[in-house]
Amino acid sequence: MKVALFVPCYIDQFYPQVAVATLQLLQKLGVAAHFPAQQTCCGQPLANSGCEREALPIYRHFVETFSDYDYVVAPSGSCVYHVRKHFDKLDQTAEVQHVRAAAYDLIDFITNVLGVTELPGAFPHKVGLHLSCHGQRGLHQANESEMTPVRDGQLRRLLASLDGLELTELTRNDECCGFGGTFCVSEAGISARMGQDRVADHVRNGTQVLTGSDMSCLMHLEGIVRRANMPIKVMHAAEILNGLTP
Amino acid sequence: MNHAIRADKFLLDADRTTWHDETLWFVREKRDRAVYAVPEFQELRELASQIKDHTLSRLDLYLQEFEAAALANGVHVHWAADAAEHNAIILEIVRQQGATRVVKSKSMLTEECHLNPYLIKHGIEVVDTDLGERIIQFRDEAPSHIVLPAIHLKKEDVGDTFHTHLGTEKGESDPQRLTEAARQHLRAKFLAGQVAISGVNFAVAETGAVVVCTNEGNADLGVNLAKVHIAAMGIEKLIPRLSDLGVFTRLLARSATGQPVTTYTSHFTKPAPGREMHIVIVDNGRTQQLGRPDFRASLKCIRCGACMNTCPVYRRSGGHSYDFTVPGPIGAILSPNIDMKKHSSLPFASTLCGSCTDVCPVKIDIHTQLYKWRQVLGEADEIPASKKWSMKFMGRLLASPKAFALSGQFARKALRLLPHGLTHANAFNAWAVARELPEPPKQSFREWYQQQPQQIQQPAQPKVTA
Ligand code: SF4
C-alpha cells in the first residue's frame, strides 16, 4: 500500500507538529507514508473565492503529485472534500478519478481503510470535539443533527477509546465554527462571532482540550481562544491519538 | 453596501444578536424534534424533491393543465411576466370592483413585487392581516424572514409599535394583550375588506385549486368576507396531483416551525356563488432561473424558512442584512438571478457548512449552488478586483512548489520578526479583529521532513511523476 501524506499549505507553514503527529500515528498503525516534496495546496482558497479557473493549475499539480499513490491522506477533511467534490472541473482522466477517490481524511482513513476504531493510550482530560462541516456533512464522518439525535462519528469513537478521556456534551453539537476559508476575513465580523459562540459552548460545558480533525477550523478557534486568554488548549486529534499530552 | 457591512451593523448590538440567534435556534430545535419523530422523514424529502424536479421538467405542460382546470372552475386566470404586470393586473381587478379597501394575507410574492406601495400610491388601502406582517407594515419595514416576518423584533418593540399605532398602553409587552389589541384592530379591517389577496403555497395542476397554509386563519377570514379573492402565485408553485399534496404538507410545517401541520390548510378551488376568484400567475425571473441548469433546483423551494433558521450566518446577521425579499441561504441563490451586481456579496455570506442543504425539505443543494454562484460572479468580474488579483497571484504561486516553499519561509519569518501591533493591526488584517495569528514555528513541516533519516523519508520509494 503506497500512501502519500498531503499536508495542506497552512499546516506545513504554521502547524508542522500536526503533520509530524499524523506521520507518526500512521507509522504506529503500520503505514509508512511518504511526503512528496513538490506538493503545495488543493486550490480550495481560490475556488471558494469564486476563482475556480485560477485554481485549475493547482488542481493539475495536485493530481500529478499524487497519482502514483494508492491513498492520499491529509489531516484536514476540508481539503479532501474539495479534491473529491470539486476536482470535477478537470477532465476526468484515469489519474484524476484515481486521485479523487484516493484522497482520505486521516480519521476516515484510519477508520475505514485501516479498519481501526479503537486505539491504545490514555488522555485523562475533558475533551471537546469540534466537528468540521466538510468532514461531517461533506464526507459523512459523523452523524448530523439535521438528521438524527444520535451523536456518533469516527473521531468520537476513536477518542472515546482512550483511557480516561471524557467527551464534552455540547449544547450545539455540530454548529459551524465560522472559519469558512476566505469567509474568515471577507465576513470577519460574523466569522469571529460564530467562533466566539462555538468556544463559549465548550467553555460552558467544561472542555479542557478542544480538538478536531480539521486544522483550519482549529486555527480559527485557537486564534479566538488565545485572543481571549481562555483556559482551553487546542490540539489536533492526530496529536492526541499519537499520545501527545497537552 | 455588501452583506458584511450590513452584518457588522447588526453585530454591534451583541445582546440582540445573541437573542436573535437563540430565538431562531429554538425554532431549529423544534424542527429537529418534529423531524426525528417521523421515521420516514428522509424518504419524504426524497419524494418531495423528485416530485418538484419532475414538475419543473415539464412546467409548461403543468401550467397549461392548471390554467384549463382553473378556468373550468370559473376562476379568472391572469399571466404576469414581471412585477410591474403583476401589480397592474391586481390594481385593475381592484378598480373594476370599485374597491378601495384590500386585505392581504401572507404572500412573499407580493413583497417581491412591492405590491403594497404600488396599491397605496394608487389610493388603495392595503392591510396585511398576518400578525407579523401587520407589525412590520406599521413600522414600514421589510420582512426579515419568510415565515416569521417580524422575528427581528422583541415583544417590547412590538409594544412600542402598537402603542404608536393602536393606542395600547405605553410599555405594554404582554404578548397576549398585544395580540388581543391586534385582533380587535384587524377584525374591523376584515369586515371592511372588499378584495382579499392571498399568496399560494401549492397549486394543484390536476384540479386547478390553490392551497394556502396559515396558522392564523387570516387568509380564510379575508377571503370569505370579501367579495373578490385574488391569489398570487409564482409559476414554481405547481404540483401535479392532489395526491402529491400530503407529501408537502407533512414536510412544510415540520420544517418551518416544528408543527406536525399548519393550523389551517385551505383549498380554494372555485368562487362561491356571487363571488369572484382570480389567480395571477407570475414569472418575474423564474423562467430565467429555470434556464440555468446549475441553479434550476432553487425553484423547488417551498418557502419553509428552515434554511434560515439553521444558517449560523443568518442567525447572527438578521434577515435585513441580505437586502432581498427572501433572505438567508435560499435568498442568496435566488437573488443573483435577479440582479447579479446588487446581490454579488450574498453567495459569499456563507461558510458553505451545508446545514441548509441538510434541512431543506425538498433537498435543494443550496451550499453547492452558493459555491457555483461564486464562480459565476468571479467570471463576470463581480467580485472585488483586489480579491481577483490576489487569487491570480496565489494560483501561480501554488502551482509552483519552489516559489511556494520560499514564500512560506518568508511569511513565517515576517510574522516572527514584525511587532505584534503591526501584524495584528485591524486596518489591514481582518483576521486579527478577534483572533490571534498562529505562532509561527521555526521550521515548516517540509523543512523538518527533509532532515529526517532517509528510511523515514522514503519508505515505499514510490515513483513520482514530475
Ligand atoms: S430552500 Fe429549502 S429550506 Fe430553504 S426555504 Fe426553501 S424549501 Fe425551505
Q: How does pLDDT run across A13-34, given as a tens digit for each residue?
A: 899 999 999 999 999 999 999 9
Q: How far, in Å, from the CA of B201 to the mean position of ligand 1?
A: 13
Q: A46 vs B394: CB contact, 8 Å cut-off?
A: yes
Average pLDDT on B327-336 reads 97
Q: What pLDDT was estimated at residue B391?
A: 78
Predicted confidence band of residue B464 (pLDDT cuts 50, 70, 90): very low
* Residue-wise DSSP of B34-55: HHHT-TTHHHHHHHHHHHHHHH
Nearest CA to ligand 1 atom 3: B360
What's the pLDDT at B455? Answer: 52
pLDDT for residue B465: 39
* pLDDT tier, A198 (very low <50, low <70, confident <90, very high otherwise): very high
Measured distance CA(A148)–CA(A108) in Å, rounded: 20
Judged against a pLDDT cut of 60, whether residue B233 lies above it is answered with yes
Ligand 1, atom 8: closest residue by C-alpha: B304
First to last CA, chain B: 47
Mutating which of B25, B311, B316, B351 best tests the A interface, going by the most A Cβ atoms within 10 A? B351
pLDDT digits (tens, 9 = 90+) for B65-99: 999 999 999 999 999 999 999 999 999 999 999 99
Average pLDDT estimate for B158-172: 96
Q: For the segment A30-66, what is each residue's pLDDT rounded down to a tens digit? A: 999 999 999 998 999 999 999 999 999 999 999 999 9
For chain A, list the strands marked E by DSSP: 3-5, 71-74, 103-105, 126-129, 166-167, 209-212, 233-236
Which domains, from first to last, does chain A contain?
3-113 (no CATH), 126-241 (3.40.50)
pLDDT of residue B417: 67
Give the pLDDT of residue B466.
34
How far away is chain A from the Cα of B116, in angstroms, using its nearest Cα?
33
Which parts of B80-147 fold into alpha helices (H)?
Answer: 83-96, 108-112, 115-121, 131-139
pLDDT digits (tens, 9 = 90+) for A121-165: 999 999 999 999 999 999 999 999 999 999 999 999 999 999 999
Position B388 scores a pLDDT of 75
- A26: closest chain B residue by CA: B456
Query: Count of CB contacts below 8 A, A vs B?
Result: 244
Closest to A240 (Cα-Cα) out of A162, A141, A173:
A162
The residues, ordered by sequence, that sit 6+ positions from B41 with a Cβ below 8 Å of its Cβ are B35, B254
The angle that helices B14-36 and B3-12 make with each other, rounded to 10 degrees, is 100
Nearest chain A residue to B45 by CA: give it: A147
pLDDT (0 to 100) of residue B283:
98
What is the predicted pLDDT for the residue at B88?
98
Nearest CA to ligand 1 atom 6: B301
Confidence class for position B462, pLDDT limits 50, 70, 90: very low
Does A149 contact chain B (CB < 8 Å)? yes
Q: Considering only A76-90, A105-119, B255-269, B388-402, which range has the smallest mean pLDDT? A: B388-402
Nearest-Cα distance to chain B for A182, in Å, is 9
User: pLDDT tens for residues B299-325?
Assistant: 999 999 999 999 999 999 999 999 999
The whole-angstrom separation of Cα A87 and Cα A58 is 10
**Superfamily classification of domain B55-288:** NagB/RpiA/CoA transferase-like (3.40.50.10420)
Provide the grid cell at B424: 495584528
Give the residues surrounding ligand 1 with Cβ less than 6 Å away. B 255, 301-307, 330, 359-362, 364, 366
Cβ contact B359–A36 (<8 Å): no
Ligand 1 atom, smallest distance to B330 CA: 1
What predicted TM-score, i.e. pTM, was given to this entire model? 0.94
Q: Given a cut of 90, is residue B426 above it in pLDDT?
A: no
Over residues B344-359, the pLDDT tens digits come to 999 999 999 999 999 9
> Which residue reads 522514503 in cell numbers?
B458
Asked whether the predicted pLDDT for residue B461 surpasses 50, the reply is no
Domain boundaries, chain B: 55-288, 410-457
pLDDT confidence tier of residue B9, bands split at 50, 70 and 90: very high
Q: Which positions in chain A touch B42 (Cβ < 8 Å)?
A: 147
